[in-house]
Chain A
């Protein structure tokens, strides 16, 4: 699944806005994930997952940072996320099904914060981009 030039442009444009609130959107996405899909909490037994917790904010920030790296190097996401790909494959080993769930929650957060920008074309481009990111992060699993 490769992104067209138009799709890349759509991702980069909205990222400029999302980046200004990356931490908040990251934390909110995780909150949405844990509430809608409680099974995802099994990966964070060591975390305080209450709303507004420092760990939640910290981790949301980490996730969005990584997405930012992928956006910056959108022509070579594999290179941008090479280390993270290994981390997920050998250390974290988050089951691949969960990447779709988090991607969906990130989309919901972005849509809620930027409804006017979240046109169908932007929605499609972001869905595809996050799907690409997910692919890269799981491609070394086996």
Chain B
């Protein structure tokens, strides 16, 4: 299993200064399919041989899956759900706060939940998810630029996309209760997995 390799440039860093690149530890469940080390990272393979894996080919959505996704999405408040998902990410997995050193007070769950920057950013992230849902048949295209951004400028380990995706699913379960059936969850797990993969696709 390969882990994504993303170089931190010295000329640009996130607000608040460069963040130390976390050490790549062992991974049990990863989404690093189709991601190979880029040139200059120590790999001897020329770029031409670095083909995307099978997982990077077109995803098929059944009519039922689309319906399950749409029926939930139609009842989601993007602002509320987005804010809650991001807040819970920062609370349940506190190390994810490393990307938000300029967000102000993140010192407690209460502070995080009430933080206006967290709310605003959560809304932004989930709005982007809405774009994915509108473009289920072209997620790669939809997320191409965002993928480059997350690698080259934001330096976000794609593992974080998986974490946020799972948090979003838990938030939906809490919001919709029994309506968020196992079938529904399965469709959404597929969606968050595929979105995470699309966001990681342009990493090098």
Contacts and interface: CB of A to CB of B under 8 A. Distances in A.
Interface string A1-44: 00000000000000000000000000010011001110000000
A112 B178 contact: yes
Interface in B141-182: 166, 169-171, 173-178, 180, 182
Contact of B182 (A32, A111, A119): A32
Given A112-B174, A112-B176, A121 B28 contact: no
Given A120-B113, A121-B109, A124-B91, A115 B175 contact: yes
Interface residues of B, number: 26
A36 B29 contact: no
Interface in A38-61: none
A107 B175 CA distance: 13
Interface stretch (B3-11, B124-132, B183-191): B183-191
Interface residues of A, number: 26
Interface stretch (A66-74, A80-88, A93-101): A93-101
B185 A36 contact: yes
Contact of A124 (B109, B174, B177, B186): B109
Q: Quick one: which of B91, B177, B182, B189 has the most chain A CB within 10 A?
A: B182
Interface in B101-130: 109, 112-113
Given A108-B169, A121-B91, A124-B91, A113 B177 contact: yes
B174 A111 contact: yes
Nearest to A100: B29
Interface of B: 28-29, 87-88, 91-92, 109, 112-113, 166, 169-171, 173-178, 180, 182-183, 185-186, 189-190
